[in-house]
Amino acid sequence: MQPHRIRLRDPWDVSPTDDGGTVRCRAFNKPTGLTVGDVVRLVVESAEGLQSVALNGRVLEVARNRDVAGCDIFAVLQPRNQLELRVAAGGQIGEVRLEIEAKA
């Protein structure tokens, strides 16, 4: 079964960093209907320029597979969340989304 996808589209607040990169921030609400054992992954496509990911002020350990980055965020989700992506100078990122897989 395919995971349920929630795309985190605009609006993103984008601000420059001292080294020429950008910080991209976006708020989102916790998806409803989650239960213990569900998996909620944050996925960033075309992530070659991605330097770091923070959720609610906590820097996350991100796994990379080619140019896709992702991590499980279920344990750190709050009712209202603030996502922060740091992108290198000249770097780009693609689609950002949540992927939800219900427990079996």
Q: Are 98 and 41 in contact (CB under 8 A)?
A: yes
Calpha distance 69→59 (Å, rounded): 14
| pLDDT tens per residue, range 15-71 | 999 999 999 999 999 999 999 889 999 999 999 899 999 999 999 999 998 889 999
Q: How far is 13 from 66, CA to CA, in rounded Å?
A: 27
**Sequence-separated (6 or more) residues with CB below 8 Å from residue 94:** 44, 45, 46, 47
Domains and CATH numbers, the chain: 4-101 (2.60.120.260)
CA distance 101 to 96: 17
Query: Can you give the pLDDT at residue 48?
Result: 86
Does the pLDDT of residue 2 top 80, yes or no?
yes
**DSSP state at residue 100:** E
Confidence of residue 103 (pLDDT cuts 50, 70, 90): confident
